[in-house]
Copies of this chain bind each other. A is one copy, B any other.
Amino acid sequence: MNKNQLENEYNSYKQKGKTLDMSRGKPSPSQLDNLWRMLTEITKSEDCYSENGTDCRNYGCPDGIPEAKRLFADILEMKSDNIIVCGNSSLNLMYDTISMGYLFGVNGCTPWGRQEKIKFLCPVPGYDRHFAITKLFGFEHINIPMTEEGPDMDRVRQYAENDETVKGIWCVPKYSNPTGITFSDRVVREFASLKPAAKDFAVMWDNAYAVHGFTETPDKLLPVMAEAEKKGNEDLFYIFTSTSKITYSGGGISCIALSEKNKQVYLKLMGIRTIGYDKLNMLRHARFLSKHLEEVMEKHGRAVREKFELCYKYFEVLEREVEGFGFSRPNGGYFINVNVPAGKAKQVVSLAREAGLILTPAGATFPGGVDPEDRNIRIAPTYPTAGELEEALKLFSICVKLAVSR
């Protein structure tokens, strides 16, 4: 296709005036429909009691019911004792953790908010909503390149172990958002052995895609807390997960996992904020997922994989035809990481938007929304139907070629 043909094709999409939003990792309606049996787990008053006798309809059990703790302990390969089960949003728990560090201090230190300067390490490309939290608190972000094994640990150590104003790092250790990379055993062990200069350093370990493999060779993530305990380093880690991408994004449950010492501090401050989280939803989830987690994730995985493979079909063509185009082929997760030729990402995203395809904003995967090379785009193919996705991929391909040709 020459440039004129591309322009014509592009304009015909524009004239159709269809809109498709692929900016966020959203489960598809058919994936959600798979879960209907969960809605029948609690349908009468007698269904409302936890295995420990707690009436989940009433106050009590602020750290969560035991079956929900066990569910997350299994997902995270940790001990139930470390886990506090909370509401539907793990992002909210991350915010609360950063906010508590800012207001009341981490590890008994002066609150971050009363220290001169706070820096936070951000593996890039990474998750925009993480960066938005630490940006809100005015932290300085330091980009850490992602390698095939996880964050570049030499750089992590260089900053964390030599600069006391570096107070933490954001991580998505499995099927990382957006690269799809899972941290290697070496990287996990190096995190577990980290000796930060700051006594109030926090590793924000957002294990959102712990059970989200979809190939024959799913990734394995070494459980970091057990490794850290061997080194006496367990207080460094704040671990999060949720069922937002297992059951319902709009009505799931989440947890934070902490060392015993950090848990006591967290519970004390949490006890000022709330009398407790929704225990009926914990019970509904624990009952359903204790029976059906594997089956549910297998079905989810098949559906997600089909969509990823459809993307690969188009991206392979682009890879052959456009120099500097590349993409990830993760074993799980929700995103495909695309690199377009340098200096072209913003243009691709804006061309797509003008023709009705909403993508994650270019740069969003970098702190402050600035991709220094302007080449990274996060593709979120889970929500649309196969038909919509194919249409979107055709348009996306045209936008890439058009941007390059201009």
State the A residues within 8 Å of B (CB).
24, 26-27, 29, 32-33, 35-36, 39-40, 42-45, 47-48, 55-61, 87-89, 91-92, 95, 99, 102-103, 113, 129, 132-133, 136-137, 248-252, 269, 272-281
Contact = CB atoms under 8 A, between A and B. Distances in A.
B91 A274 contact: yes
B279 A58 contact: no
Given A136-B272, A251-B278, A281-B281, A88 B87 contact: yes
Contacts of A56: 248, 250-251
A366 to B, nearest CB: 17
A132 B44 contact: no
Contact of A55 (B29, B133, B277, B281): B29
Contact of A87 (B29, B57, B87): B87
Given A32-B58, A39-B47, A277-B88, A132 B249 contact: no
29 contacts: A32-B55, A35-B45, A36-B45, A39-B43, A39-B47, A39-B48, A55-B250, A56-B248, A56-B251, A57-B250, A58-B248, A58-B250, A59-B249, A60-B250, A61-B250, A87-B87, A87-B277, A88-B278, A89-B276, A103-B103, A129-B272, A132-B272, A136-B272, A249-B275, A250-B276, A250-B278, A251-B280, A252-B278, A281-B281
A281 B253 CA distance: 12
Contacts of A26: 58-59
A239 to B, nearest CB: 19
